[in-house]
Amino acid sequence: MLANLNIIDLAVVDALDLNLEQGMSVLTGETGAGKSILLTALGLALGDRADSGYVRPNCKRAEVNIEFELADAPQALQWLLDKELDDDQQCLIRRTISDDGRSKAYINNRPVNLQTLQELSRLLVEIHGQHAHLTLQDNEEQRRLLDDFANNQTLLEQLNSSYQNWKQAHKELQHLIKTSSEQTEREELLRYQLEELQQLDLDEYDFQAIADEHHKLANLGKILSVGQQQLDVLYDNDQHSVAEMLGHCLHGIQELSQYAHELTEISSLLTEAEIQVSEAAQQLRRFLENQQADPQQFAYLEQQIAVIQSLSRKHKTAPEALPQLAAQLAAELNNLSHSSERIESLSVDSQRFLADYQALSQQLSQRRQQAAAELQQRISATIKELGMPHGEFLVNVTPAYHSEPQRNGQDGIDFLVTTNPGLPAKPLGKVASGGELSRISLAIQVTTSPDKTTPTMIFDEVDSGIGGGIAEIVGQKLRSLSKNRQVLCVTHLPQVAAQANQHLFVAKNQKASITSSTVRRLSDEERVNEIARMLGGITITENTLAHAKEMLENGNVQI
């Protein structure tokens, strides 16, 4: 259950530390006091999107901390264990929002992303808003509610797995069948393109080496001419070669070194230089002697480069990438050559997945029809208790045999209602008024909630449009839900508030130019005064107070 809510610098709340208890808790206060910000804070902590507008003015960041006890949430505890985020039987969630709009989330002091936080939140808290009846008019939401009531989750997972397998096999099969008519032409084109590329001797293909050799042969005359000139400069010119001048210089330094020993190192360097020049000259001579013009090789390279450049332009790829292109074309040709075998294999797989899907779909449809009969009976009974004596709720499960499998089965699921005798049942939004929709919505939520494992349920003014004796029944229904889970309810109705085990009061305070909201638990005497305020009237009389006390006593609350 939700044990503690701590808020720092969020919107109109500067600081709040609120302990919550098991059972039913209500939040009341004047309109605009800030009740909604508490639900906003919970939503942010549970993974809602955030922006800088939530940060209290003149503050650097907002922070929300919530603490859960997991004794009544085994699925959440197992989830934490699987994710290695567990911390005994507790769960601490922290969400921070900076004034630049950035936010961070933590579970048990370990940073997590919003998706991870939302996964955990669904196992801990379920929130029903005052406009829940709008969501209930959506067929997909109606299907989800029925499947949850029927405990169809495992069967749904199996069915959707078969659906996904069939969809993937069917898609590939249709693609191969569609392309098979063009297969012959494509195979011929691929073979022609591969033959063109294979003339390049792809096993030994090295475009850079070919280009380098071609460039060298194209400039061979210059290489021989300039090379011989440099060989003369280095060694062959007896009068002015580098080797000759180094020899004279070395001889002179060696004579001087007998007078100045400091010149010995210079003499050694010149000796090394003389050796290096001699070796360079010898290598250059051998290189020049080995260079011979080869017109045939040059012509062959010219032809190869022309072919390479032509293929490169044709296939719109770099010359270096031609071997990779050939490999891709060969792979495609191989796939086409075996496509008939693949078509046969996929056809068998597709039929098998389809048979699995149809069997599971039929089983799911039967379970839905059985659950629908029980669900509509329960909701109809609850609607009557909520002041609609002639109300009848129907859950229609209509097998819709589509030409192809559909996700979540092939049933059409519709929630229908009639509020007056003799009139046919129609979809929710077409037959009920706003107040009736609120009561029907609440009846659905109350009826389906006992089958859920979520330990904490929050109701945000789901009792809007309801009053009088019906409001008291609503309060009793919400309290009955709290027998095996925690229920937190935001309400304006004294009949609902009187049923709570814990009463929290939200008040707005004005200090200078800054508004803030506070929340505190009411004492027994304060509860009487708050219920009296909610009953209405400019002046709270003794009769009003007596009425409030009586309501609390009838709600089994000791005063």
Of 306, 337, 368, the position where a domain reaches its end is 337
Q: Extract the tokens encoding 426.
A: 């129609």
Q: Would 378 be classed as within a structural domain? A: no
**Average confidence (pLDDT) over 112-116:** 93
Q: Same domain for 6 and 37?
A: yes
Name 452's Cβ contacts closer than 8 Å, sequence gap at least 6. Answer: 126, 148
The pLDDT value recorded for residue 120 is 92
**Can you give the CATH number for the domain in which 28 is found?**
3.40.50.300
- Answer with the residue of higher pLDDT: 75 or 401: 75
Q: Same domain for 46 and 190?
A: no
**How far apart, in whole angstroms, are the C-alpha atoms of residue 80 and residue 89?**
10
Q: Same domain for 530 and 515?
A: no
Q: Same domain for 309 and 248?
A: yes
The pLDDT value recorded for residue 523 is 92
Confidence band, pLDDT 50/70/90 cuts, at residue 133: low
Q: Would 399 be classed as within a structural domain? A: no
Confidence band, pLDDT 50/70/90 cuts, at residue 102: very high
CA dihedral angle for residue 496, residue 508, residue 132, residue 459, rounded to 10 degrees: -40
Q: Same domain for 42 and 78?
A: yes
58-95 pLDDT per residue, tens: 899 999 999 999 988 888 999 999 999 988 888 999 99
CA distances to 43, 44, 187, 377, 492 from 38, in Å: 9, 10, 67, 36, 15
Q: Is 271 exposed, middle or buried (0-12, 13-18, 19+ CB in 10 A)?
A: middle
Q: Same domain for 192 and 326?
A: yes
Between 172-181, 218-227, 494-503, the lowest mean confidence (pLDDT) is in: 172-181
The pLDDT value recorded for residue 90 is 84
**How far apart, in whole angstroms, are the C-alpha atoms of residue 152 and residue 409?**
11
Number of other CB atoms surrounding residue 98 within 10 Å: 15
What does the angle CA 25 – CA 27 – CA 29 come to, to the nearest 5 degrees? 155
The pLDDT value recorded for residue 556 is 57
Most confident of 90-94, 215-219, 281-285, 325-329: 90-94
Of 286, 321, 337, the position where a domain reaches its end is 337
Q: Would 428 be classed as within a structural domain? A: no
Mean pLDDT of the chain: 85
19: left (phi over 0), alpha (psi -120 to 50) or beta: beta
**Average confidence (pLDDT) over 188-200:** 79
- Answer with the residue of higher pLDDT: 124 or 509: 124
Query: Is the confidence at residue 105, as pLDDT, over 80?
Result: yes
Q: Would 94 be classed as within a structural domain? A: yes
Q: Would 377 be classed as within a structural domain? A: no
Q: Same domain for 114 and 214?
A: no
Q: Same domain for 82 and 197?
A: no
**Residue % of the chain over a pLDDT of 70:** 92
**Average confidence (pLDDT) over 500-506:** 92
Q: Same domain for 17 and 80?
A: yes
- Answer with the residue of higher pLDDT: 53 or 437: 53
Q: Same domain for 27 and 74?
A: yes
Of 279, 304, 337, the position where a domain reaches its end is 337
Q: Same domain for 217 and 113?
A: no
Q: Would 484 be classed as within a structural domain? A: yes
Q: Sheet containing 2-10: give its strands across.
A: 13-19, 2-10, 61-69, 90-98, 103-107, 110-112
Query: Is the confidence at residue 166, as pLDDT, over 60?
Result: yes
**Average confidence (pLDDT) over 425-453:** 75
* Overall pTM surpassing 0.85 (yes/no): no
Most confident of 87-96, 152-161, 264-273, 315-324: 152-161
Q: Same domain for 548 and 515?
A: no
Report the number of distinct structural domains present in the chain.
Answer: 3
Running DSSP on this structure, what letter comes out for residue 224? H
Q: Would 72 be classed as within a structural domain? A: yes
Name 449's Cβ contacts closer than 8 Å, sequence gap at least 6. Answer: 126, 457, 481, 485
523-540 pLDDT per residue, tens: 999 999 999 998 876 778
Query: Is the confidence at residue 121, as pLDDT, over 60?
Result: yes
Query: Is the confidence at residue 558, as pLDDT, over 70?
Result: no
Domain of 88, in residue numbers: 1-130+453-492+500-520
Q: Would 155 be classed as within a structural domain? A: no
